[in-house]
Chains A and B, each alone.
Chain A
Amino acid sequence: MPTVSVKRDLLFEALGQKYTDEEFDELCFEFGLELDEITSEKEILIREQGGEKAEGASDVVLYKIDVPANRYDLLCLEGLVRGLQVFKEKLEAPRYKRVSPADGGEPQRLVITEETASVRPHAVAAVLRNITFTQERYESFIELQEKLHQNICRKRTLVAIGTHDLDTISGPFTYTAKPPGEIRFKPLSQSREYTAAELMSLYKTDSHLRHYLHIIENEPLYPIIYDSNGIVLSMPPIINGDHSKISLNTKNIFIECTATDLTKAKITLDMVVTMFSVYCDEPFTVEEAEVVYPDGRLSVYPELAYRTETLSGDFINKRVGINESAESIAQLLTRMCLRSEVSGEGDLIQVEIPPTRADVIHACDIMEDAAIAYGFNNIVRSTPRTYTVANQCSEEDIADKLRKNITETRAVHISNPKTADFQVARTSLLPGLLKTIAANRKMPLPLKLFEISDVVLKDETKDVGARNNRRLCAVYYNKSPGFEVIHGLLDRVMQLLDVKPGRNQGYHIQAAEDSTFFPGRCAEIFSCGKSIGHLGVLHPDVISRFELTMPCSAIDIDIEPFL
Chain B
Amino acid sequence: MADNGLLESVLRLVEKVDGGTDSQDVAADLGVDHQVIVGAVKSLQALGEVISAEQKSSRHWELTGEGREIAEQGSHEARVFNAIPDEGLPQNQLMKMPSGKVGFSKAMSNKWIRLDKAHEGGPRVFKTVEAIEDTVRDKLQLVQKGQSAKLEDKEKNELKKRKLLSEVTVKSYWITKGSSFSTTITKQETELTPEMIASGSWKEKKFKPYNFEAMGVAPDCGHLHPLMKVRTQFRQIFLEMGFTEMPTNNFIESSFWNFDSLFQPQQHPARDQHDTFFISDPALAHEFPQDYLERVKKVHSEGGYGSQGYKYDWKIEEAQKNLLRTHTTAVSARMLYKLAQQEKFTPVKYFSIDRVFRNETLDATHLAEFHQIEGVVADYGLTLGNLMGILHQFFTKLGITKLRFKPAYNPYTEPSMEVFSYHEGLKKWVEVGNSGVFRPEMLLPMGLPEGVSVIAWGLSLERPTMIKYGINNIRELVGHKVNLQMVYDSPICRLDS
Whether chain B is bound by chain A comes out as yes
Chain B 432-459, CB-CB to A under 8 Å as 1, else 0, gives 0000010111000000000001010000
CB of A12 closer than 8 Å to a CB of B = no
Restricting to A20-69, which residues have a CB under 8 Å from any CB of B? 29, 31-32, 34, 68-69
Please, how many angstroms separate the alpha-carbon atoms of A450 and B224 in the complex?
A: 9
Question: Of B26-34, B79-87, B123-131, B386-394, which stretch is located at the interface?
Answer: B386-394
Task: Using CB atoms, name the residue of chain B closest to A435.
Answer: B480
Pick from B247, B382, B385, B407: contact of A372, CB below 8 A: B407
Q: How many A residues have CB within 8 A of the partner chain?
A: 81
Chain B 283-312, CB-CB to A under 8 Å as 1, else 0, gives 111111000000000000001011111111
Please, how many angstroms separate the alpha-carbon atoms of A40 and B279 in the complex?
A: 43
Q: Closest CB-CB distance, A333 to chain B, in whole Å?
A: 14
Task: Using CB atoms, name the residue of chain B closest to A464.
Answer: B285
Pick from A69, A319, A383, A462: contact of B409, CB below 8 A: A69
CB of A395 closer than 8 Å to a CB of B = yes
Q: List B contacts of A318 (CB < 8 A).
A: 381, 383
Q: List B contacts of A321 (CB < 8 A).
A: 383-386
Contact B251 A387 (CB under 8 A): no
Q: List B contacts of A362 (CB < 8 A).
A: 305-308, 414, 439-441
Q: How many B residues have CB within 8 A of the partner chain?
A: 90
Q: List A contacts of B409 (CB < 8 A).
A: 1, 32, 68-71, 359
Contact B385 A382 (CB under 8 A): yes
CB of A542 closer than 8 Å to a CB of B = no
Pick from A395, A396, A413: contact of B279, CB below 8 A: A413
Q: Closest CB-CB distance, A372 to chain B, in whole Å?
A: 5
Q: Closest CB-CB distance, B289 to chain A, in whole Å?
A: 9
Contact A390 B408 (CB under 8 A): no
Task: Using CB atoms, name the residue of chain A closest to B250.
Answer: A468
CB of A188 closer than 8 Å to a CB of B = no
CB of A425 closer than 8 Å to a CB of B = yes
Q: Closest CB-CB distance, A364 to chain B, in whole Å?
A: 4
Contact B439 A463 (CB under 8 A): no
Pick from A32, A363, A379: contact of B384, CB below 8 A: A379
Please, how many angstroms separate the alpha-carbon atoms of A365 and B310 in the complex?
A: 14
Contact B439 A364 (CB under 8 A): yes
Count of chain A to chain B residue pairs whose CB atoms are closer than 8 Å in the complex: 236
CB of B377 closer than 8 Å to a CB of A = yes
Chain A 434-466, CB-CB to B under 8 Å as 1, else 0, gives 011011100100011110001010100011111
Contact B392 A368 (CB under 8 A): no
CB of B316 closer than 8 Å to a CB of A = no
Contact B368 A422 (CB under 8 A): yes
Question: Of B44-52, B186-194, B237-245, which stretch is located at the interface?
Answer: B237-245
Restricting to B392-439, which residues have a CB under 8 Å from any CB of A? 392-393, 404-409, 411, 414-417, 437, 439
Restricting to A459-494, which residues have a CB under 8 Å from any CB of B? 462-468, 470
Q: List B contacts of A261 (CB < 8 A).
A: 267, 312
Contact A393 B389 (CB under 8 A): no
Please, how many angstroms separate the alpha-carbon atoms of A313 and B218 in the complex?
A: 67
Q: List B contacts of A278 (CB < 8 A).
A: none
Q: List A contacts of B273 (CB < 8 A).
A: 416
Please, how many angstroms separate the alpha-carbon atoms of A322 and B269 in the complex?
A: 35
CB of A190 closer than 8 Å to a CB of B = no
CB of B254 closer than 8 Å to a CB of A = yes
Q: Closest CB-CB distance, A513 to chain B, in whole Å?
A: 28
Task: Using CB atoms, name the residue of chain A closest to B406.
Answer: A29
Please, how many angstroms separate the alpha-carbon atoms of A413 and B238 in the complex?
A: 34
Please, how many angstroms separate the alpha-carbon atoms of A237 and B284 in the complex?
A: 31
User: With contacts A390-B244, A391-B245, A440-B484 known, is A384 near B388, CB below 8 A?
Assistant: no
User: With contacts A320-B384, A415-B279, A416-B273 known, is A467 near B250, CB below 8 A?
Assistant: yes
CB of B324 closer than 8 Å to a CB of A = yes
CB of A197 closer than 8 Å to a CB of B = no
Contact A439 B406 (CB under 8 A): no
Most buried by A among B222, B247, B285, B414: B414
Contact A154 B251 (CB under 8 A): no
Task: Using CB atoms, name the residue of chain A closest to B438.
Answer: A364
Q: List A contacts of B465 (CB < 8 A).
A: none
Task: Using CB atoms, name the residue of chain A closest to B313.
Answer: A261
Restricting to A300-341, which residues have a CB under 8 Å from any CB of B? 318-322
Q: List B contacts of A443 (CB < 8 A).
A: 484-485
Q: Closest CB-CB distance, B216 to chain A, in whole Å?
A: 17
Q: Closest CB-CB distance, A439 to chain B, in whole Å?
A: 5
Restricting to B96-130, which residues have a CB under 8 Å from any CB of A? none
Most buried by B among A359, A365, A396, A465: A465
Q: List B contacts of A468 (CB < 8 A).
A: 249-252
User: With contacts A320-B385, A422-B368 known, is A416 near B277, CB below 8 A?
Assistant: yes
Pick from A71, A319, A436, A467: contact of B480, CB below 8 A: A436
Contact A414 B282 (CB under 8 A): no
Contact A447 B385 (CB under 8 A): no
User: With contacts A34-B406, A71-B409 known, is A465 near B249, CB below 8 A?
Assistant: no
Restricting to A204-233, which residues have a CB under 8 Å from any CB of B? none
Contact A381 B388 (CB under 8 A): yes
Please, how many angstroms separate the alpha-carbon atoms of A440 and B476 in the complex?
A: 11
Restricting to B339-380, which residues have a CB under 8 Å from any CB of A? 347-349, 355, 359, 362, 368, 377, 379
27 A-B pairs within 8 Å (CB atoms) are namely: A1-B409, A29-B406, A32-B408, A68-B408, A71-B409, A318-B381, A320-B384, A321-B385, A361-B310, A362-B305, A362-B308, A364-B439, A382-B389, A383-B389, A384-B379, A388-B244, A388-B347, A390-B240, A390-B244, A392-B235, A412-B279, A413-B280, A435-B480, A439-B481, A440-B485, A466-B252, A468-B251
**4 further contact pairs, Cβ within 8 A, besides A412-B252, A436-B480, A464-B250:** A386-B347, A410-B281, A436-B482, A440-B484
The 4 A-B residue pairs with the shortest CB-CB distance, nearest first, are A321-B385, A321-B383, A32-B407, A465-B282
